[in-house]
Amino acid sequence: MTTKVRFAPSPTGKLHVGNIRTALTNVLHARQTGGIFLLRIDDTDLERSTKAFEDGIRADLQWLGLGWDESFNQSDRFDKYDAAAARLKEMGLLYPAYETGDELDRKRKIQRAQGKPPVYDRAALDLTEAQKAAYEAEGRKPHWRFKLSGNPVTWTDLVRGETTIDTASLSDPILIREDGSYLYTLPSVVDDIDAGITTIIRGEDHVTNSGAQIEIFEALGGKAPEFGHKALLVGADGGKLSKRLGTLAISDLREEGIEPLAILSLLAKLGTSDPIEPVTDLQQLVDSFSFGKFSRAPARFDPAELQRVNAGVLHQLDYAAVKDRLAALGADDGEAFWHAIQPNLEKLTDATDWHRLIAGPVDPVIEDADYAKQAAAHLPQGELTSASWGEWTATLKAETGRKGKDLFLPLRLALTGQRHGPDMSELLPLIGRERVLRRLQG
């Protein structure tokens, strides 16, 4: 059977690293098994969902290289959810309840005071037709609850292993609100059945839902798919990530100059037994993917680690992979330039600084004008090549008796205005004779 997975974001905000970790896990499993990756837009909440957020989600996934094979929006499928709800009602598994939020709160308070778990008492199941009619006449509208079996639901989770949710400890979940709108629970099951989803991969915060959803799958005549619930991401200090998610939106990371492959390299390995290493091809992550490597402990997301991986990715990218982006930055000075600056980059945008160092203007720093003069006089003749720096400094060493830092640093400071930077033997031919001589004059 072909694997089919789905990533199902709600377009009520921007994608952040936690979402992408889920999307990526789905993609890796699909690619590894030759399966299908479905993007489902969970936009049943018509008030909070926006087209702009949906466009942003699609753009972020494309930018990351996590394109989908199929896609649809839940908002196009209300008739399917209505039909499923009607079937559940017929089976007596979806029942109307009329309690207001305040009334439910009061019930829970009493239960807690009595030391009981705050589970819905199913009072609505005992309502007579006359009582229901009386509520309706009062202007109350029902919300609709799914009647759980009260039995334990057990599945072999791809990440957690054997997992049991005792539905007796859960309130019957509300599937339809009193205004007729759907909560996520039922539409998701209807879609997963219709789309033929074989594997649901999502965060551990959905484990309890899964217990209820498995019963809904079975009630609607489907067999529940397999599940994999990953432990959640937490901050570097072990605290909740969600508070800081504003700064971890994928679009912000993109603007900061983080490489898509840095995000993927890190997120694919966080919380697994594999080391975190920069990769330059998604296929490397596909090849090493395995559910068995995921830990059940929360995975820590550290932005500083993302920066390190980002530099590591840049240090491996071929010129061909960055040429167009360098050109867009106005910093495409050819392949030799790329190789010269590559080891010094933390972000691709740093290339503009190194470009300026080649093209100028540079403020030469000259502390010893005589040495600068001598240097100019001994610059090798002809076109400067990658061998020129070695020849030049060997001559200067012999002529001046300088060595080490005293020999090299004044040249770097004169030619680049900076104490640190790319390898001088690679920079020298890029700067070129004319500019070298001009900068040595201060």
Residues 27-46 that bind ligand GLU (CB under 6 A): 42
Q: What is the 3-state secondary structure (H, E, C) of 234-290?
A: EECCCCECHHHHHHHEHHHHHHHCCCHHHHHHHHHHCCECCCCCCCCCHHHHHHHCC
Stretch that binds ligand GLU, among 5-13, 60-68, 302-310, 322-330 (CB under 6 A): 5-13
* Amino acid found at 103: E
User: Positive or negative CA dihedral for 214, 216, 218, 224?
Assistant: negative
Q: Do you find a cis peptide bond into 275, omega within 30 degrees of 0? A: no
Minimum Å gap between C-beta 45 and ligand GLU is 10
Residue 173 binds ligand GLU (CB under 6 A)? no
Residue 25 binds ligand GLU (CB under 6 A)? no
Q: Which helix (H) or strand (E) holds 203?
A: strand 199-203
User: Between 10 and 342, whose beta carbon lies closer to ligand GLU?
Assistant: 10
Residue 184 binds ligand GLU (CB under 6 A)? yes
The structure tokens 């945008």 sit at 349
Per the DSSP assignment, residues forming a β-bridge with 201 are 228
Minimum Å gap between C-beta 303 and ligand GLU is 23
And the tokens for 109? Answer: 């308070």
User: Between 202 and 355, whose beta carbon lies closer to ligand GLU?
Assistant: 202
Minimum Å gap between C-beta 217 and ligand GLU is 12
User: Between 42 and 172, whose beta carbon lies closer to ligand GLU?
Assistant: 42
Residue 332 binds ligand GLU (CB under 6 A)? no
Residues 257-296 that bind ligand GLU (CB under 6 A): none
User: Between 44 and 272, whose beta carbon lies closer to ligand GLU?
Assistant: 44
Q: Contact 320/353 with Cβ under 8 angstroms? A: no
User: Between 39 and 375, whose beta carbon lies closer to ligand GLU?
Assistant: 39
16, 12, 422: which is closest to 258 by C-alpha? 16
Residue 188 binds ligand GLU (CB under 6 A)? yes
Residue 8 binds ligand GLU (CB under 6 A)? yes
Euclidean distance between CA atoms 33 and 51, whole angstroms: 32
How is 61-125 classified by DSSP, letter by letter?
HHHHT---SEEEEGGG-HHHHHHHHHHHHHTT-EEEE---HHHHHHHHHHHHHTT-------GGG
> Which of 14, 29, 147, 202 contacts ligand GLU by CB under 6 A?
202
Q: How far is CA 145 from the centre of its chain?
A: 34
User: Between 21 and 202, whose beta carbon lies closer to ligand GLU?
Assistant: 202
> Which of 10, 25, 198, 416 contacts ligand GLU by CB under 6 A?
10
Stretch that binds ligand GLU, among 2-10, 119-127, 383-391, 418-426 (CB under 6 A): 2-10
Binding residues for ligand GLU (CB under 6 A) = 8-10, 42, 184, 188, 202, 206
